[in-house]
């Protein structure tokens, strides 16, 4: 092939790549309080969560890749809410049916049912065909599953997931929880790059509960992740929505976007700031040189409406679709955001 023809081919290739776009969607904490378990019970030992996500499913499904934080272990019986969660497997099934492609499992409740619960959760998600990240039955399984890179409309997107802790409950055997650890994070990000990840997403379970602005530990970790070369950070745990910020990223054209906390995707929390959450939409594109970049990051709000005489279950609504009776509460939630 002559140099002239090669130049034309390269020009056409770059032009086609410049039009390439993809949207990632991230939801906050999918909780499982006792009232949610009770509302979903349809028969002894049977629980149906389908109605919880029917209103939000179109929004989730229109994204090219959707991720949710599963903030509860799964179990076969003895289902419980706070403080030690244990949810039916049908809860995960309903989230999958709503359009979520990846479940995050590294959070402070992942050991609520100890090592046995972690292992059951991993096995249940595997049986449902749901990719998951953050906890593993042993180090060998972690090594086999990572680095996790997904092809999203031609973008090679790598994911990591870490938690600040597990409510004082320690691993007893050989299961693995990905705790926040500087050496492990650096090694994981490097492994993703070596494996060809063009975009690296770090999902962090961090911060202080019910605080509307990021605390010092979040800001410090965000800067550390930026220095490691992470492209976008997705935060959770505070159960309230914290703002999007941009952190200096050494040696890069653009600062690194951080969604410090997405709040609750669904829960039975009842205060003004905890009834809702945010969906983070991350738009990917290629620049003029064909390099994958994070173009924009923005929030779309959601609000959970509890059961009523006309609706048996908890339902997650897009903010603009909240039923009239709940619009004042939804407006109060939105107006309090920082």
Beta-strand runs (E) in the chain: 21-30, 41-43, 46-47, 65-70, 74-75, 87-88, 102-104, 132-133, 135-136, 148-152, 155-163, 176-177, 199-205, 232-236, 241-247, 256-262, 264-266, 276-286, 292-305, 315-318
Token couple for 140:
């060998």
**Contact 189/229 with Cβ under 8 angstroms?**
yes
Per-residue model confidence (pLDDT) at position 9 = 38
Residue 333 to residue 317: CA distance in whole angstroms? 13
Quote the pLDDT of residue 7.
46
pLDDT of res. 13: 44
Would you state the pLDDT for residue 253?
81
pLDDT score, position 257: 98
CA 205, CA 336: separation in Å to the nearest integer?
22
Question: Residue with structure tokens 């959707």?
Answer: 66
Contacts within 8 Å (CB) and 24+ apart, 293-297 = 293/231, 293/253, 293/254, 294/199, 294/231, 294/232, 294/254, 294/257, 295/21, 297/232, 297/244, 297/257, 297/259
In the chain, which stretches have pLDDT less than 50? 6-10, 12-15
Task: Kindly give the interhelix angle for 216-228 and 182-194, rounded to the nearest 10 degrees.
Answer: 30
Q: Helices in the chain by DSSP H: which ranges?
A: 3-18, 34-40, 57-61, 89-97, 114-127, 139-145, 182-194, 216-228, 327-335
Q: What's this model's pTM, rounded to 2 decimal places?
A: 0.94
Could you tell me which of 292, 227, 230, 304 has the C-alpha nearest to residue 56? 304
pLDDT digits (tens, 9 = 90+) for 80-117: 999 999 999 999 999 999 999 999 999 999 999 999 99
Position 17 scores a pLDDT of 59
Rounded distance between C-alpha atoms, residue 29 and residue 95, angstroms: 12
| β-pair type (232-236, 199-205) | parallel
Dig out the tokens for 138 from the structure. Answer: 């042993």
């Amino acid at each position: 092939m002559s140099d002239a023809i090669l130049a034309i081919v390269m020009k056409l290739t770059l032009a086609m790549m410049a039009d390439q776009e993809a949207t990632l969607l991230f939801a906050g904490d999918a909780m499982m309080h006792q009232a949610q378990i009770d509302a979903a019970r349809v028969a002894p030992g049977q629980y149906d969560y389908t109605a919880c996500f029917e209103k939000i499913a179109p929004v989730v499904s229109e994204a090219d890749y959707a991720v949710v934080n599963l903030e509860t272990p799964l179990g076969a019986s003895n289902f419980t809410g706070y403080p030690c969660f244990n949810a039916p497997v049908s809860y995960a099934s309903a989230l999958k049916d709503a359009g979520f492609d990846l479940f995050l499992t590294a959070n402070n409740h992942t050991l609520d049912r100890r090592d046995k619960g972690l292992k059951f959760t991993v096995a249940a998600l595997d049986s449902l065909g749901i990719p998951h990240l953050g906890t593993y039955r042993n180090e060998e399984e972690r090594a086999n599953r990572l680095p996790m890179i997904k092809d999203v409309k031609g973008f090679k997107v790598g994911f990591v997931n870490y938690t600040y802790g597990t409510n004082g409950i320690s691993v007893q055997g050989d299961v693995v929880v990905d705790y926040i650890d500087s050496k492990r994070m650096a090694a994981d990000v490097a492994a993703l790059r070596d494996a060809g990840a063009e975009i690296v997403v770090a999902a962090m379970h961090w911060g202080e509960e019910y605080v509307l602005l990021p605390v010092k530990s979040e800001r410090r970790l965000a800067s550390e992740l930026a220095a490691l070369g992470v492209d976008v950070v997705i935060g959770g745990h505070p159960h309230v929505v914290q703002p999007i910020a941009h952190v200096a990223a050494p040696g890069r054209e653009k600062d690194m976007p951080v969604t410090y906390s997405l709040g609750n995707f669904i829960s039975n929390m009842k205060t003004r700031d905890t009834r809702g959450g945010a969906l983070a939409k991350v738009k990917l594109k290629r620049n003029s040189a064909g390099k994958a970049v994070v173009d924009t990051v923005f929030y779309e709000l959601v609000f959970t409406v509890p059961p009523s005489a006309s609706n048996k279950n908890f339902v997650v609504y897009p903010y603009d679709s909240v039923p009239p009776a709940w619009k004042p509460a939804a407006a109060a939630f939105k107006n309090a955001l920082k």
